[in-house]
Structure 1
Amino acid sequence: MPHPFGNTITAQDIIETMSSFTSWEERYRQVIMWGKSLPKMHDELKQEQLLVSGCESKVWLVSEFDGELWNFQIDSDARIVRGLIALVLAAFHLKTTAEIKAFDTQAYFAKLGLIDHLSPSRGHGLKAIVEQIQQLVEQS
């Protein structure tokens, strides 16, 4: 099961990279770069029932659970949202149910210093993506 970044980038890697920047503009550019590095979801997967509700942009979420690890494919039609998806995937992709349940997303996003700089609708959308993943994991 390949990692969306081609190699494994962790939430800790994201935090370390983001904390090395001094300005919001540098962080924003880095988030966009991570989004560009994500593979595009195949068009046949971009179906209405896979849309994440609560997102202003279109966001599609596909999940698979092999009994041990969760595999997520997430895509968006918006550049910045693809970058935010990269942050989410670093935290949740190829993780166990226990790891996902134990992950403190509020602390993670606080360490990244992003939420305060996102528009309310982008912040809402980011939370909607995380909540949908958490619901999928809870239902398994």
Structure 2
Amino acid sequence: MSLPSSAEEALDAFAQCPGWEQRARLLMQWGERLTPLRPEERDEANRVHGCESQVWLVGEVQEGHWHFRAASDARLLRGLLAVLLARVDGLSCSQLGEVDLTDWFNRLGLSRQLSPSRSNGLNAVLQRMRQLAAEN
């Protein structure tokens, strides 16, 4: 399965980073690129459960392709969400089901920095994406 162009961009950007410090800085920058959610979208219905930090996720399907927006109060998590959204942007429902989160963060060189709780939280976000896709 080919990657969305935003995912290719993420892989290229993170491949340029020689170490964790540079990756962490880049992650923060990616987090700032997230499209902000409107205040009314930061509600309980859009909250992702299973994350230690607060995370909200909004998804919409256009012509069979999913586009998500997400927000978090935690800076590092916003960056992780941004690279996750880059990976899933424009995928179909069935393609969302094929996304391997561990492989994606390995390819970005970020998996070693993912604590078990962050990893669980990101898995909860991906599960919520799949749930939204299944409901439509």
TM-score by length of 1: 0.84
Match of 1:108 among 104, 110, 115: 104
Q: Counterpart in 2 of 1:38?
A: 34
Paired residue total? 133
Note if contact 2:34-2:70 (Cα within 8 Å) is conserved in structure 1.
no
Q: Counterpart in 1 of 2:10?
A: 14
Q: Counterpart in 2 of 1:58?
A: 54
CA shift for structure 1 position 26: 0.6
SS of 1:52 mapped into structure 2: coil
Of 38-47 and 127-136, more deviation after overlay is shown by 127-136
Identical pairs, percent: 35
TM-score by length of 2: 0.86
CA RMSD of aligned residues (A): 1.8
Q: Counterpart in 2 of 1:70?
A: 66
- Alpha-carbon distance in structure 2 between the residues aligned to 1:121 and 1:104: 17
Of 121-130 and 43-52, more deviation after overlay is shown by 121-130
- Alpha-carbon distance in structure 1 between the residues aligned to 2:71 and 2:34: 8
Which blocks of at least 5 consecutive residues in structure 1 are unaligned?
1-7
Q: Counterpart in 1 of 2:84?
A: 88
1:126 and 2:122 correspond: yes
Residues 89, 130 of structure 1: CA spacing in aligned structure 2 closer, same or farther, 3 A cutoff? same
Q: Which amino acid aligns with 1:51?
A: R
CA shift for structure 1 position 9: 5.1
CA shift for structure 1 position 64: 1.5
- Alpha-carbon distance in structure 2 between the residues aligned to 1:86 and 1:65: 18
Match of 1:23 among 19, 28, 53: 19
Q: Which amino acid aligns with 2:67?
A: N
SS of 1:10 mapped into structure 2: helix
